[in-house]
Chains A and B, each alone.
Chain A
Amino acid sequence: MTTLPAPPAADAAANGQHGHGGHNLTGFVLFLCSESLIFLAFFAGYITFKLSSPVWLPPGVEGLELRGPLLYSVVLVSSSLVIVLAERALHQRRLVAFRCWWALTMLMGAVFLYGQASEWLQLPFALGSGVFGGCFYLLTGFHGLHVLTGIVLMALMLWRSFRPGNYDGGEAGVASVALFWHFVDVIWVVLFLLIYVWR
């Protein structure tokens, strides 16, 4: 990844006993594995409902509009590339570039949330409109909550980047948030295929 020598604290973290950065990343990966199972459970429920329900779409609903959601999906998924650039900039100790890429990722996440909110307001069905309505709002809403959480966590990391010496002990916080963001994006791809593409 980089030609610069690793900061000394990273060595301690690799040894495990003293550096807490390594613990943080291990703990966070375990948490993400666990969190992904909530989504897997929701997906399993969705597939079961979709395959077994005799009437799927609520009366008067033809299907979901694809163009708008596709647009903001592209924005969300490409933000995964932007956050990689941010991480690389931090690794090379270019703090200003890190903050720019990082803020751009946050902006793209916000655009996604805006797109989703405006879609919700236009839809002709509600949470109580049969199993379909419940599944749609529960899944997209639960995912949207994760996007919001991601943006809040990124804001926290952005604020921390202004504190001197914050990255001397490694970048576990930034790495964890970036991992979370990739996770949110992957979940969205599956969710998009299940809800919008699978007719």
Chain B
Amino acid sequence: MSPTIPFDPRVLRAPHPVPGAPDNWRRFFSFNTDAKVIGIQYIAVSLFFLLVGGLLAMIMRGELLTPPADLVDPTVYNGLYTMHGTVMLFLFLFPVLNGFNNLLIPPMIGAPDMAFPRLNAAAFWLFPVFGVILMLSFLVPGGPSGSGWWAYPPVSTQNPLGHFINGQFLWILAVALSGVSSIMGAVNFCTTIIRMRAPGMGWFRMPIFCWTALAAQAIQLCGLPVLTAGAVMLLFDLSFGTSFFRPEGGGDPMLYQHFFWFYSHPAVYVMVLPIFGVFSEVFPVYARKPLFGYHVVAIASFAITFLSLIVWVHHMFYSGTPQWMRNVFMVTTMLIAVPTGIKVFAWLGTLWRGKLRLTTPMLFCLGGLFNFIFAGITGIMLATVPVDIHVGNTYFVVGHFHTVIFSTITYGVFAAIYHWFPKFTGRMTYEGLGQLHFVLTFLGSQLNFLPMHWAGLMGMPRRVASYDPEFAGANVLASLGAFLLGVATLPFLINIVSSWARGAKAPANPWQAIGLEWLLPSPPPAENFGEHVPVVIAGPYGYGLGRDLVEDQESVVQRSLQEA
């Protein structure tokens, strides 16, 4: 057990940042242009929305405990699942990953900050704005949008109460603003990685997290504009009387589905690619081995980017898609398992005969990898046209999706938080609470999402508030799992709040990790390396190879110790 530092409340009022304390908290509420402040802002606000989205999910699972719609009525239920999906994707996962990009990319490549610090801050401050806009839709007449996070017309072009400002209008506005913010972020992250790497850091000396961040942001640049085009047309249909997607006016609702999924399928890769990056960073540290097949893993990220842009129609196999199109997109969808499978084998190769340390971040990554392999297999099932037509629109899809989005991506988010928490706050987290968090989360997610697969194969439709009593068993299990996941959040919150306030002081490199960010003091100074940018002389992940990462490593480490 590491000793805790006696807590001195004066540090909270100190005018200048004191390393290792939740110092000068006012900067987190200001238009601060420091990427490390913005990163923490993103993560803190998105964790708040994780709680909001989780609360909505638990109300839904409470409703689904019993077959009839008794807890909430079906209209409210429609609003709940729409808002749950939208909050979790646009207000939790995208922003939390942008937070990691902000925290990790500049120190990992030895840059002082992002390429456009003011643009960065502006992109962040749009986030609370569209968060509030989306939440306001609970208050407008008619309640929030009930057309799902995919907002298919003709449901989403209905405006029965006739108010100009309605739930669907606010939904489109929030998603469009989120898109603007993400484009600003994507331009910034790509420019930073392309132009601001430390001397000596060629492309193939870059940590995998930066590769995957670049690959994910490239998807944002290609895909988001298409969603924006679709959203603009949907807004015109809803509010200004056009008929792009209204069949009664000669429009084509299928076209919206193409626009939507052209972005929103790759969006899953925007979320999962950085988590692949987290896995690739965490496994070598706690297995004490170099990442297996570094070059292949790096290139596979861009293979995934490319393939992700040509698979979108697999969401529309049962929407009246022509047979030739189904076949083409079935093949492209299955092809994406190749670069993904390569990565899975690279991680297994990294773990193989490593000296494993089962710390909290390692546990979350191992659990995430386990769940991801399961979700990958159900993904291949869903890519197969005959299976998809059978289980499409059932809980099988819900189970598959949540195994990816929660049991892989959100596990990766937790792993990243535990792994880099000491670096960016200067405080260690409590290992026992972290492991309790992992155990509860792992049990909760299996209990929640596995029965959904079963119910789906039996034919239980999704997006409904009431169901046939034959599915009651699976739903009771899933609901218990969901409540367990809610409980699992408590040790996490207690852990990060109390660790930041009074956890043990973190050394510069608590995990003996190799990487530019671990050469900096914890927390790093405002401009990272400032004037003394080290010259990189080797690739990343040199575990057990006994080589230095940068020129004159000893003095770089000494300098960071002095600054701390």
Residues of A at the B interface (CB closer than 8 Å) are 16-17, 20, 22-24, 26-27, 30-31, 33-38, 40-42, 45, 48-49, 52-55, 127-128, 130-131, 133-135, 138, 142
**A residues near B225, Cβ cutoff 8 Å:** 34-38, 40-41
A131, B116: Cβ atoms closer than 8 Å? no
B463-515 contacts to A, CB under 8 A, are: none
> Digit string of B95-134 for contact with A (CB within 8 Å is 1, else 0)?
0000000000000000000011001000000000000000
Residue from B195, B196, B252 within 8 A of A48 (CB atoms): B252
Besides A49-B252, A134-B242, 6 more A-B contacts (Cβ < 8 Å) are A20-B115, A26-B195, A38-B228, A45-B244, A48-B255, A127-B240
The answer to the question of B241 belonging to the interface, with a C-beta cut-off of 8 Å to chain A, is yes
Q: How far, in whole Å, are A127 and B239 apart by their CA atoms in the complex?
A: 12
| Minimal beta-carbon separation of A23 from chain B (angstroms) | 4
Q: Which of A16, A38, A128, A130 contacts B195 (CB 8 A)?
A: A16
B94 touches A (CB below 8 Å): no
CB distance A41 to B259 under 8 Å?
yes
Cross-chain contact A41 with B226 (CB below 8 angstroms): yes
B243 on the A face (CB < 8 A): yes
* 8 Å CB contact of B229 from A31, A41, A53: A41
**Complexed CA–CA distance, A55 and B186 (Å):** 41
Known: A16-B195, A34-B222. A134 touches B243 (CB 8 A): yes
Cβ-based interface call for B233 (8 A): yes
Residues of B contacting A52 in the complex (Cβ-Cβ under 8 angstroms): 252
Q: Which residues of B have CB within 8 Å of A33?
A: 221
Taken together as a complex, chains A and B put the C-alpha atoms of A142 and B255 apart, in Å, by 19
A45 and B233 contact, CB distance less than 8 A: yes
Closest approach, in angstroms, between the C-beta of A131 and any C-beta of chain B? 5
Which B residues contact A (CB, under 8 angstroms)?
115-116, 119, 183, 186-188, 190-191, 194-196, 199, 221-222, 224-226, 228-230, 232-233, 236, 240-244, 249-252, 255, 259, 262, 533
Provided the pairs A45-B255, A53-B250, A138-B232 are in contact, do residues A27 and B187 lie with their beta carbons within 8 angstroms? yes
In the complex, A33 Cα to B191 Cα: how many Å?
Answer: 13
Q: A31-B183, A130-B250 are in contact. Are A42 and B191 (CB under 8 A)?
A: no
Is there an interface contact between B226 and A38, defined as CB atoms closer than 8 Å? Answer: yes
Q: Name which residue of chain B comes closest to A126, CB basis.
A: B241
List the 8 closest A-B pairs by CB distance, nearest first: A134-B242, A41-B229, A37-B225, A38-B225, A128-B241, A27-B191, A34-B221, A41-B226
In the complex, residue of chain B having the shortest beta-carbon distance to the beta carbon of A53: B250
Contact among A128, A130, A138 with B233 in the assembled complex (CB-CB below 8 Å): A138
Bound: A45/B228 CA distance, A: 13
Q: Are A30 and B242 in contact (CB under 8 A)?
A: no
CA distance A127 to B119 in the complex (A): 35
Are A23 and B115 interface neighbours, CB within 8 A?
yes
Distance to closest chain B CB from A60 (angstroms):
16
- Contact residues in A for B221 (Cβ distance below 8 Å): 30, 33-34, 37
Q: How far is the CA of A54 from the CA of B244 in the complex (A)?
A: 14
21 of the cross-chain contacts (CB-CB < 8 Å) are A17-B196, A17-B533, A26-B194, A26-B195, A27-B187, A27-B190, A30-B221, A31-B187, A34-B183, A34-B221, A34-B225, A36-B225, A38-B225, A128-B242, A130-B243, A131-B242, A131-B250, A131-B251, A134-B236, A134-B243, A138-B242
Interchain CB contact (< 8 A) of A45 among B115, B229, B249: B229
Q: Given the complex, which residues of A lie within 8 Å of B228, measured CB to CB?
A: 38, 41
Q: Which residues of A contact B226 (CB under 8 A)?
A: 37-38, 40-41
The residues of A that contact B250 with a CB separation of less than 8 Å are 53-55, 130-131
A38 interface neighbour in B196, B229, B244, B251, Cβ under 8 Å: B229
Residues on A with beta carbons closer than 8 Å to the beta carbon of B186: 30, 34
Residues on B with beta carbons closer than 8 Å to the beta carbon of A16: 195-196
In angstroms, Cα B197 to Cα A16, docked, is 9
Please state if B242 and A133 are interface contacts (CB–CB under 8 Å): yes
Bound CA–CA A60/B222 (angstroms): 39
Determine whether the beta carbon of A134 is less than 8 Å from that of B229. Answer: no
Looking at the complex, which one of A23, A34, A54, A138 makes contact with B191 (CB distance below 8 Å)? A23
Q: CA A160 – CA B251 in complex, angstroms?
A: 47
Q: How far is the CB of B405 from chain A (nearest CB, A)?
A: 25
**B115 & A27 in contact (Cβ 8 Å cutoff):** yes
Q: With the chains together, A26 CA to B183 CA distance in Å?
A: 14
Residue of A nearest to B242 (CB): A134
Complex Cα spacing A132 to B207, Å: 50
Distance in Å: Cβ of A128 to nearest Cβ of chain B: 4
Q: How far is the CA of A127 from the CA of B233 in the complex (A)?
A: 12
Residue of A nearest to B115 (CB): A23
A128 touches B243 (CB 8 A): yes
Complex-state Cα separation, A61 to B134, whole angstroms: 41
Q: How far is the CB of A79 from chain B (nearest CB, A)?
A: 25
- Docked pose: A91 CA to B233 CA in angstroms: 42
Q: Is the CB of A34 within 8 A of B249?
A: no
Report the bound CA distance from A144 to B251 in whole Å.
Answer: 24
For B240, the chain A residues whose CB sits under 8 A away are 127-128
User: Complex formed: what's the CA distance from A17 to B199 in Å?
Assistant: 9
| Least distance between A150 CB and chain B CB atoms (Å) | 18
Whole-angstrom distance between the Cβ of A139 and the nearest chain B Cβ: 10
CA distance A131 to B243 in the complex (A): 6
Whether A30 pairs with B255 at a CB distance below 8 angstroms is no
CB-CB under 8 A from A48, the residues of chain B are 252, 255
- In Å, the complex CA distance between A192 and B431 comes to 64
Q: How far is the CA of A52 from the CA of B250 in the complex (A)?
A: 10
- Please, which residue of chain B has its CB at the minimum distance from the CB of A135? B244
Residues of A within 8 A of B249 (CB): 130-131
Which residues from B are CB-within-8-Å of A35?
225
A130→B244 CA distance, assembly (Å): 8
In the complex, residue of chain B having the shortest beta-carbon distance to the beta carbon of A142: B232
- Say yes or no: A23 contacts B242, CB within 8 Å: no
What CA separation (Å) do A37 and B179 show in the bound complex?
13
CB of A23 within 8 A of CB of B195, answer: yes
Which of B222, B242, B262 is the most central at the interface, judged by chain A CB atoms within 10 Å of its CB?
B242
Please give, as numbers and ranges, the residues of chain A lying within 8 Å of B187 by CB-CB distance: 27, 30-31, 34
Nearest CB in chain B to that of A19: its residue:
B195
In whole angstroms, what is the CA distance A17 to B115 when docked? 10
The residues of B that contact A34 with a CB separation of less than 8 Å are 183, 186-187, 221-222, 224-225
CB contacts (< 8 Å) of B243 on chain A: these are 128, 130-131, 134
B144 to chain A, nearest CB (A): 27
